Amino acid sequence: MDKHINLVKLCVGAERVEDLLLWQQTPRAHGPDGLPRHVTRMWPKRGEELLNGGSLYWVFKGLILARQRLLRLDEVLGGDGITRCALVLDPEVHRTESVPRRPFQGWRYLKPEDSPADLAEARQHEDTLPPELSAALAEIGVR
């Protein structure tokens, strides 16, 4: 596959992957095509690389714990007349190894080599560990 890049973003208002899954079941989380999306103010300058196999990695309470493949970038006109970017996501959420991430605003690019691996298929449906325990394990290198 050609070169791709990922995004990393805080999952605001969610403490666990299960919170994201519940949110994405609501109609407000979907675009007109029924796919989950996240609307952001800034348009990624590296859109072509993102759509060449990139994913959005979600940070929960200081840990990357999940990702969703990016399908496309849509223009969305807000009620305030400002055009924004909708990150249209694959509905399948993949749990990843726990990787600590310091707080930041907006989103950041994440190189593939710096991206956490997906959990094994057998672990994809496990409940998330408490954030404090996940952080402690990630800090000592246990994933």
Query: Do the Cβ atoms of 119 and 125 come closer than 8 Å?
Result: no
User: Which phi and psi angles does 133 have, rounded to 5°?
Assistant: -70, -45
**pLDDT (0 to 100) of residue 92:** 97
Q: What is the DSSP string of 88-136?
A: EE-SPPEEEEEEE----SSEEEE-GGGSPPBPPGGGTTSPPPPHHHHHH
Per-residue pLDDT reduced to its tens digit, 14-62:
999 999 999 999 999 999 999 999 999 999 999 999 999 999 999 999 9
Backbone phi, psi, residue 122, to 5°: -65, -20
For residue 1, the SS3 value is: coil
Task: Give yes or no for residue 83 having a pLDDT over 70.
Answer: yes
Query: What is the average per-residue pLDDT within 54-83?
Result: 96
Question: pLDDT confidence of 82, banded at 50, 70, 90?
Answer: very high
Which residues on neighbouring strands pair with residue 67, listed in sequence order?
A: 57, 94
pTM for the structure as a whole: 0.84
